[in-house]
Structures are given as structure tokens and as C-alpha cells.
Amino acid sequence: MDGAPVFLDSTERTNFIEEGNHPMKTLNLKVLTLTLSLLAPALSAFAHDHNPAALTQVIENVKRARAEGKQPVVMFDLDDTLINTRERTLRIIQDFVKQQQLSSEEAQKLANLQVNDIRFLMSDTLKDQGIQNPALAKALGDAFLSKFFTNEFCANDQQNPGAALYAREVVRAGGKVVYLTGRDAPRMHDGTLENLRKQGFPVSSPEALLMMKPDKSTDDLQFKKDTFAQVAAMGEMEGVFENEPANINAMADAFPAATAIFLDTIHSPTDIVPEARVSFVSDFFHGAADGSDEAPVQEDAAAAN
């Protein structure tokens, strides 16, 4: 790997891990869980049972390693693992509709889209809506490409349910959180850091580390594979999290002792399936085992919608 990892600014400590010190309001977990269970069929990419107990297992792994005097490490992908990129795509579509001032039936369909209507490929999103307009698809595709990989748009992302609470739980248990993302630093570092902070994720060194690609041309999976040795040297890997089947398999292979968890959200088109030992989840809630009856909802993110 020729690019150095991007370390979070240790001078900008935010102490998100201190309870009550983050900009959260709370919502009853049972209401959220019910809502999520209703959404689950639309979100599922594989017909596979979900296993939230694996989330608890990672926390227990971290505590055990800590008790043994080791430095536990937990590694998370960002896009569609901790962060919901469908919501970012929806904001881009909504901006597009406003700026184009379209009045057609197709524009109305775009304006009515919800987060769960967003597919991994824009072409599939349009197809689902019965939109077959090459000129519109081209203009929307151009808008998407010009905005999706930007500080401006990723700064306002929303997390997948329970993600920040869970990352803080890892840190509280004594773990180091590594965010290993295919986003590239030149286009997205500042927005990513701002967003993680706003969403309540741990961002302070040494308990959190953000690793981004040095440039956009690097292949995501190759970049991640190239970092594994460096991350392994930080301590004992206890949990790895990904939404891309090829990536979670690479992580599971590189860290055979770690609990491997696949986020069953959206992923790029592929025939690869997660290995048998990989657990599936659709969010980061794992019941009473996290010691909390409440889940956070980010105020800024709610207001931004």
C-alpha cells in the first residue's frame, strides 16, 4: 500500500463515548424494533436468518480480550454497514428534481421516492418506478456521480439504526474501533469525519481510527486487503463488519478468530455469498445485552429530512 492511513485528529477530542455527552434524543427501543421488523422484508438482500446475538458476541470478545490484557480491535466498513447510503442517494435525487424543475409524471415519481425505494444501481431504482427515459437517466446519473462522493453530501448522512450506539459500546468495553472504508480521502475525508462526529460515533484517537483510500482509483477490496496487516498489528481482532459479500469473506479469512458480521442492507451486484461462518444482521440492535433500553436518534439528521 503506498498511501498512509488517515488518522483522526487527536486534538479534536469530542468525548462521544461519555454517556449523556452526545447530541442524541432517545426513542423507545420497542417502537424502533417494531418499525424495523416491518421494513425488514424490503431491506433483505439474501434469504438468510439474522443473528443479532453475534453483535453481543463481539462485545463479549472485546471484554474477554481486555481482561486478558490485550488490545481488542473491531473493524467496520462505513457505506451500508454503519452508514445508510440510500438516504444520501435519495437526497441527491430530491435535489435533482428541484433543480430541474421537472413537471412530468416521471419527475413526480422521483419526488415521491422513499429511502427503501433506492436500489444499489440507479438504473434499478428507475426501472422499479417504470421510468424508461434515457435522457432523464443520463442527467440523473451525472448528478449522482457529481455529488455522491463528496464531503458536502456525505456530511449529512444518516447512520444505520443503532450503529453509533453500538460503536460506543465497543469502546466502552475496551475496544478500538477501526473504520475501514472504500471512500477516498481527497474527496470525502472532511465530510466523513464531520458526519461521524454529528452522528455520535467515537472519533477520538486512540479509541477510533479512520482509514480511507489515498485516491479514488484504488480498488476498494484491494485497498482493504492491503490494510489488514497494519490493522492486525494494532491488537487482537474481535469483530469485522461489512455489507459487501466479497469484502466480508476477505475479512473473515484474514481474521479467522474474529466474529464476522454481514450487514444485510444493499450491496453491489455479485454472485458471491458470505461464507457459512458469517452472521447476518440488518441493524445494530441486540437487545438487553447492550445494557440499554433505549436507542439514540440523531436530532440533526432527523431535522435535515
Other Cβ atoms within 10 Å of 287 Cβ, number: 13
Cell numbers of 103, please? 413537471
Stretch that binds Mg ion, among 58-66, 94-102, 118-126, 239-247 (CB under 5 A): 239-247
Stretch that binds Mg ion, among 56-64, 138-146, 241-249, 269-277 (CB under 5 A): 241-249
Strands 83-84 and 158-159, bridge-based pairing: antiparallel
Q: Tell me which of 62, 79, 185, 286 binds Mg ion, using CB under 5 A.
A: 79
Residue 77 binds to Mg ion (criterion: CB under 5 A): yes
Give the whole-angstrom CA distance, residue 197 versus residue 200: 5
Q: How far is the CB of 164 from Mg ion (least distance, A)?
A: 17
What DSSP assignment string belongs to 144-183?
HHHHTTSHHHHTT-EEPTTHHHHHHHHHHTTPEEEEEEEE
Other Cβ atoms within 10 Å of 15 Cβ, number: 10
Q: How far is the CB of 126 from Mg ion (least distance, A)?
A: 22
Residue 157 binds to Mg ion (criterion: CB under 5 A): no
Q: Which residues make beta-bridge pairs with 100?
A: none
Q: How far is the CB of 62 from Mg ion (least distance, A)?
A: 22
Q: How far is the CB of 77 from Mg ion (least distance, A)?
A: 4
Q: Which amino acid is at 123?
A: S
Q: Tell me which of 125, 158, 204, 243 binds Mg ion, using CB under 5 A.
A: 243
Q: Tell me which of 80, 169, 220, 264 binds Mg ion, using CB under 5 A.
A: 80
Stretch that binds Mg ion, among 72-80, 154-162, 185-193, 284-292 (CB under 5 A): 72-80
Helix (H), strand (E) at residue 30: helix 29-43
Binding residues for Mg ion (CB under 5 A): 77, 79-80, 243
